[in-house]
């Protein structure tokens, strides 16, 4: 019997996803037309022995999460529960805190995944791989190849090429260690909790020796990457399953568009009904005549699109209105926003280099050399863009009425 | 009567348009700049126009032959082989200008206004002196040469070139009328009329100023070309409104050549000139622009303050603004943003130009 745990974080995490995360918890943000988490849940529910999916995070229970949970349970016919951490306990601390819940029913193994990754989820392959490597209690990390420079932004894995054992693990090194990176998707057996428990004891002892200075540095905060994998590497317990299927982090709003594209490409085989001649349209979307949408466009429900509208490489969220002749490129248009006639809303894509098969999307800093880095244009919810203006490489916070053009600015 | 028009050389300030066509032949509000002046001169009784050029253009010569026929006047070209300044060309054309005692007009070829040639003649004859200069009031006089004169008589005291402090807000409008006698003052060598000739004439009491009523603009560069267009169209609205296009989809003053084709759901104007054979596809919005002959603007594009060169093609969903000038036969691909670009002829633009620059 199998279980899956999805780490969904909390409001203090995922701040690079603002202003979109003001309206909706980041794990519920729609990517390729469905909430980010739904892609994980769908992949998990396909496994025949999957008994339960547990979401662990520190969001307060709210309407959106509850609604999502009940819909997902109905759609996928599987038990899905949200376990709220009392504080941010880290990627290891959360699962350790809820180990009894995870282990109830005695699963042989369980997946742990970060919510903010976009992946093809080769879960059956990871299960097969685990049976063939190490002993019955070994753990598997999903890895993929990055280019040398970008690997420094991820957890780096040095493997034994014959046995696929993880020999060495470093999280975000400052010098090159390996081009195999951690995808944030793991397969554990119950034995993992012994190892986390050891680290927990050690932390407690260290706490006693130190003063209680910072509130957030508690013994229960355990990070899988730095605290567990680094220690387990080279002990014959940790293995890496390498995949070359699509994978990306979703850290910034701009990477949501890139992730959408990856999933939309997958829809040709998995969900062709979600695609409609180049676009992904929901029900109750009104589309005028002579408009051109796509490639890589996701349109939410209740969106009104006027005549002669051009949308490309963008996400249009529910209830938005795009008036006649407007043009939306490389942007995310927030819920209920309006774009006036002939207006142009344009961003700059931060896509990975298409000539490099291992290039990953950059999570760039917001500013560089004192200037706003050109990136995807984001309109928060209920933003009104008047007719005939241009909004270029800008971020507009929710409920704002603009009255002129803006370029390369954050508009509060 | 005669007139000398100082056409000058390559018209570099109006590039890229003047890379294809000599400046006098660039269409301003659907008529070559030169023709605006020549037709007004003919109306005032001028029968011989002399074009002072420093760069000889076959195109110009051929066009002038055609206009001679059409207007029934004589057009000569006076070609200076070496630079003669602003006064020298008059000396070069001395023979042509002095075959009788009548006064002659001299104009700067970049000037557009409600040409007051009849008033100038009357004023000049009333004064009975050697020279009359037309002056016009401007908001920013220090960009130009300023004229200081007696308000009631018009007698000019002095000129101040680009003054640093406010001296007067009347500038030299680039239109003069002279008696042939003044030509004795000019020799055939590089001479500046403002620096060398006028000051002496003023001192001797032979130079008078006539104030221009109505609009005036030097349209020698794109920004001013568009401003002048707005002024001229406003003047057409007052004097001959039937020439302008109105109706649904047209705002303000819009001049459209009868052979142009305009699609559905377009909004054109205010202040737009559409040349012969131009095609505007559906859903196009154009404001404060000149679209030259044969250009093609594809659907849903948005243009403000632009000059679109002859036979150019602007793609779909393009946004162009901020005095973008496309030379002849330029192609702008779909969905681009062009901000203040100056694009040389026969160029294809495949990438957005978010900040003003020149595209060679």
Q: What is the pLDDT of residues B264-300, one digit of tens each?
A: 999 999 999 999 999 999 999 999 999 999 999 999 9
Asked if residue A233 is part of any domain, the answer here is: yes
Residue A15, pLDDT score: 79
pTM, rounded to two decimals: 0.86
Domain CATH number, residue B301:
2.160.10.10
Of A290, A312, A344, Cβ closest to residue B319: A344
The contacts of residue B305 (CB under 8 Å, 6+ apart) are: B226, B287, B288, B289, B321, B322, B323, B324
| B55 and B174 together in one domain | yes
Last residue of a domain, one of B159, B184, B218: B218
Q: Same domain, yes or no, for B89 and B141?
A: yes
The per-residue pLDDT string of chain A (412 residues; one tens digit each, 9 = 90 and over) reads 999 999 999 988 777 888 888 888 999 999 998 999 999 999 999 999 999 999 999 999 888 899 999 999 999 999 999 999 988 898 999 999 999 999 999 999 999 999 999 999 999 999 999 999 888 889 999 999 999 989 999 999 999 999 999 999 999 999 999 999 999 999 999 999 999 999 888 888 887 776 665 555 577 889 999 899 999 999 989 999 999 999 999 988 888 999 999 999 898 888 888 876 544 443 334 444 445 787 889 998 899 999 999 999 999 999 999 999 999 999 999 999 999 999 999 999 888 888 888 888 877 677 778 788 888 999 999 999 999 999 999 999 999 999 999 999 999 8
Residue A259 lies in a domain: no
- Note the ipTM here: 0.82
Contact, A326 vs A292, CB < 8 A?
no
Total domains in chain A come to 2
* A67 close to B (CB below 8 A): no
Q: Which residues of B touch A388 (CB under 8 A)?
A: 285, 302, 304
- Helix B117-127 to helix B33-43 angle (10° resolution) is 50
Number of inter-chain CB pairs under 8 A, A vs B: 43
* Residue A295 near chain B (CB below 8 Å): no
Q: Nearest 5°: CA angle at B55, between B53 and B59?
A: 90
Q: What is the pLDDT of residue A279?
A: 47
- B309 found inside a domain: yes
Query: Left if phi > 0, otherwise alpha if psi is -120 to 50, otherwise beta: which for B165?
Result: beta
In a domain, B227, yes or no: no
A65 and A163 belong to one structural domain = yes
CA A93, A97, A98, A100 torsion-angle sign: positive
Residue A266 in any domain: the answer is no
- For B20-48, write each residue's pLDDT tens digit: 999 999 999 999 999 999 999 999 999 99
Contact A13, A249 (CB under 8 A): no
Q: Rounded distance, CA A71 to CA B250, Å? A: 52
B262 and B184 in a common domain = no
Looking at the fold, whether A290 and A224 belong to one and the same domain comes out as: no
* Final residue belonging to a domain, choices A215, A249, A283: A249
In a domain, B256, yes or no: yes
B122 and B87 both lie in a single domain: yes
User: Same structural domain for residues A189 and A332?
Assistant: no
Quick check: B285 and A325 CB within 8 A?
Answer: yes
A61 and A202 fall within a common domain: yes
In a domain, A412, yes or no: no
Judge if B169 and B306 occupy the same domain.
no
Q: Is the domain of B176 the same as that of B285? A: no
Distance from C-alpha of B121 to C-alpha of B105, rounded to nearest angstrom: 9
B291 and B201, same structural domain? no
- Could you tell me if A295 and A175 lie in one domain? no
Q: Are residues B211 and B238 in the same domain?
A: no
For residues B205 and B64, membership in a common domain is answered with yes
Q: Do A397 and A332 share a structural domain?
A: yes
> Where a domain ends, among A205, A232, A249?
A249
Tell me, yes or no, whether A112 and A168 share the same domain: yes
In a domain, A167, yes or no: yes
Same domain, B40 and B66: yes
Whether B158 contacts chain A with CB within 8 A: no
Task: Give A-chain residues touching B321 at CB under 8 angstroms.
Answer: 390
pLDDT(B82) > 90: no
| Contact partners, residue A135, CB within 8 Å, separation at least 6 | none
pLDDT at A282: 39
Q: Smallest CA–CA separation between B266 and chain A, in Å?
A: 10
The predicted pLDDT at position A212 comes to: 60
Instruction: Output the average pLDDT for chain B.
Output: 94
Task: Report the pLDDT value the prediction gives residue B195, as an integer from 0 to 100.
Answer: 87
Angle between helices A63-76 and A36-45 (to 10 degrees): 30
What's the pLDDT score for residue A45?
94
pLDDT for B221 equals 94
Judge whether B224 lies within some domain: no
Q: Is residue A257, in this structure, part of any structural domain at all?
A: no
Q: What is the pLDDT of residues B95-124, one digit of tens each?
A: 889 888 899 999 999 999 999 999 999 999
Domain end marker among B172, B194, B218: B218
Cα A96 to its chain centre, rounded Å, is 22
pLDDT of residue A285: 45
Whether B213 and B249 map to the same domain: the answer is: no
- Tell me which DSSP letter residue B85 carries: B
Read off the CATH number of the domain in which A382 is found: 2.160.10
> Which residue, of B183, B218, B253, is where some domain finishes?
B218
Residues A223 and A307 in one domain: no
Establish whether the linkage from the previous residue to B16 is cis, with ω within 30° of 0.
yes
d(CA B258, CA B266): 17
Residue B305 above 70 pLDDT? yes
The verdict on B316 touching A (C-beta cutoff 8 Å) is yes
Q: How far apart are CA A358 and CA A181, in angstroms?
A: 11
Q: Is residue A19 part of a domain?
A: yes
Number of structural domains in chain B: 2
Are both A146 and A25 inside the same structural domain?
yes
**What range defines the domain where residue B60 resides?**
2-218
Query: Exposure string (b/e) for A77-89, b if CB count within 10 Å is 16 or more?
Result: ebebebbbbeebb
Q: Is residue B276 within 8 Å of B262, Cβ to Cβ?
A: no
Structural domain includes residue B53: yes
Q: Which of A325, A346, A407 sits opposite B300 (nearest CB)?
A: A325
Domain with A336, as residue range(s), is 275-407
Q: Is A41 a domain residue?
A: yes
Query: Is A293 found in the same domain as A340?
Result: yes
CATH number, domain of B129, equals: 3.90.550.10
- Domain match, A169 and A284 both: no
CB atoms B354 and A290 under 8 Å: no
What pLDDT, in 10s, does the model give residues B145-171?
A: 899 999 899 999 998 888 888 888 999
A372 in reach of chain B (CB within 8 A): no
From the CA of A407, how many Å to the nearest CA of chain B?
9
B104 and B213 housed in the same domain: yes
Q: Is B226 part of any domain?
A: no
Q: Within this chain, do residues A138 and A44 fall inside the same structural domain, yes or no?
A: yes
Which residue is catalytic, options B31, B43, B143, B162?
B162
Q: Is the peptide bond before A327 cis (omega within 30 degrees of 0)?
A: no
Q: What's the token pair of residue B334?
A: 């779909």
Residue A75 sits in a domain whose CATH number is 3.90.550.10
């Amino acid at each position: 019997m199998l279980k899956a745990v999805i780490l969904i974080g909390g409001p203090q995490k995922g701040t690079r996803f603002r202003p979109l995360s003001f309206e909706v918890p980041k794990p519920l943000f729609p990517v390729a037309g469905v909430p980010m988490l739904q892609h994980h849940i769908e992949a998990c529910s396909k496994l025949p022995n999957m008994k339960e999916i547990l979401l662990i995070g520190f969001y307060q229970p709210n309407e959106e999460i509850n609604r999502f949970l009940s819909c997902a349970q109905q759609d996928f016919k599987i038990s899905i529960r949200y376990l709220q951490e009392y504080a941010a306990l880290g990627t290891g601390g959360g699962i350790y805190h809820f180990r009894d819940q995870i282990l109830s029913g005695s699963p042989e193994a369980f997946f742990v995944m970060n919510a903010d990754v976009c992946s093809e989820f080769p879960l059956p392959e990871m299960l097969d791989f685990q049976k063939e490597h190490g002993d019955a209690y070994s753990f598997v990390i999903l890895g993929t190849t990055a280019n040398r420079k970008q690997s420094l932004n991820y957890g780096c894995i040095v493997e034994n090429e014959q046995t696929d054992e993880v020999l060495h693990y470093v999280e975000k090194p400052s010098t090159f260690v390996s081009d195999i990176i951690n995808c944030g998707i793991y397969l554990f057996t119950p034995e993992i909790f012994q190892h986390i428990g050891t680290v927990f004891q050690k932390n407690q002892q260290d706490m006693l020796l130190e003063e209680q200075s910072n509130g957030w540095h508690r013994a229960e905060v355990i990070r899988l990457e730095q605290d567990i994998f680094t220690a387990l590497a080279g002990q014959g317990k940790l293995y890496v399953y390498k995949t070359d299927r699509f994978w990306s982090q979703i850290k910034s709003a701009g990477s949501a568009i890139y992730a959408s594209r990856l999933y939309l490409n997958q829809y040709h085989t998995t969900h062709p009904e979600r695609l409609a001649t180049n676009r992904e349209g929901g029900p109750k979307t009104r589309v005028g005549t002579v408009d051109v949408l796509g490639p890589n466009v996701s349109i939410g429900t209740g969106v009104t699109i006027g005549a002669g509208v051009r949308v490309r490489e963008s996400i249009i969220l529910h209830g938005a209105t795009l008036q006649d002749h407007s043009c939306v490129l490389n942007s995310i248009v927030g819920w209920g926003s309006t774009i006036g006639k002939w207006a142009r809303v344009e961003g700059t894509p931060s896509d990975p280099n298409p000539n490099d098969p291992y290039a990953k999307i950059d999570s760039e800093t917001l500013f560089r050399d004192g200037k706003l880095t050109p990136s995807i244009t984001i309109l928060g919810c209920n933003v009104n863009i008047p007719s005939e203006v241009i909004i270029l490489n800008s971020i507009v916070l929710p409920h704002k009425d603009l009255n002129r053009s803006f370029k390369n600015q954050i508009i509060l | 009567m005669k007139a000398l028009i100082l056409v000058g050389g390559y018209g570099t300030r109006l590039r890229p348009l003047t890379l294809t066509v000599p400046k006098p032949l660039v269409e301003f509000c659907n008529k070559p700049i030169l023709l605006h002046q020549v037709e007004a001169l003919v109306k005032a009784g001028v029968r011989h126009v002399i074009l002072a050029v420093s760069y000889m253009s076959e195109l110009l010569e051929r066009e002038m032959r055609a206009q001679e026929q059409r207007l029934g006047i004589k057009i000569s070209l006076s070609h200076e082989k070496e630079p003669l300044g602003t006064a020298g060309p008059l000396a070069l054309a001395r023979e042509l200008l002095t075959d009788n005692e009548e006064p002659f007009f001299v104009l700067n070829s970049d000037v557009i206004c409600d040409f007051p040639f009849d008033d100038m003649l009357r004023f000049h004859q009333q004064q009975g002196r050697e020279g009359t200069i037309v002056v016009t009031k401007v908001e920013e006089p220090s960009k130009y040469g300023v004229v200081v004169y007696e308000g009631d008589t018009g007698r000019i005291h002095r000129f101040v070139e680009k003054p640093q402090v406010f001296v007067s807000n009347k500038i030299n409008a680039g239109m003069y009328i002279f008696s042939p006698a003044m030509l004795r003052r000019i020799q055939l060598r590089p001479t500046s009329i403002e620096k060398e000739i006028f000051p002496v004439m003023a001192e001797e009491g032979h130079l008078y100023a006539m104030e221009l009523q109505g609009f005036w603009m030097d349209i020698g560069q794109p920004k001013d070309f568009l401003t002048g267009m707005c002024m001229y169209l406003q003047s057409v609205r007052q004097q001959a409104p039937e020439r302008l296009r109105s109706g649904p989809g047209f705002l303000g003053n819009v001049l459209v050549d009868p052979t142009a084709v305009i699609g559905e759901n377009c909004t054109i104007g205010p202040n737009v000139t559409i040349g012969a054979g131009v095609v505007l596809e559906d859903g196009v919005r154009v404001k404060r622009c000149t679209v030259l002959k044969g250009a093609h603007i594809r659907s849903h594009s948005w243009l403000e303050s632009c000059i679109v060169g002859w036979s150019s093609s602007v793609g779909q969903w393009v946004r162009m603004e901020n005095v973008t000038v496309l030379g002849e036969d330029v192609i702008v691909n779909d969905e681009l943003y062009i901000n203040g670009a100056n694009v040389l002829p026969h160029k294809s633009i495949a990438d957005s130009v978010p900040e003003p620059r020149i595209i060679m």
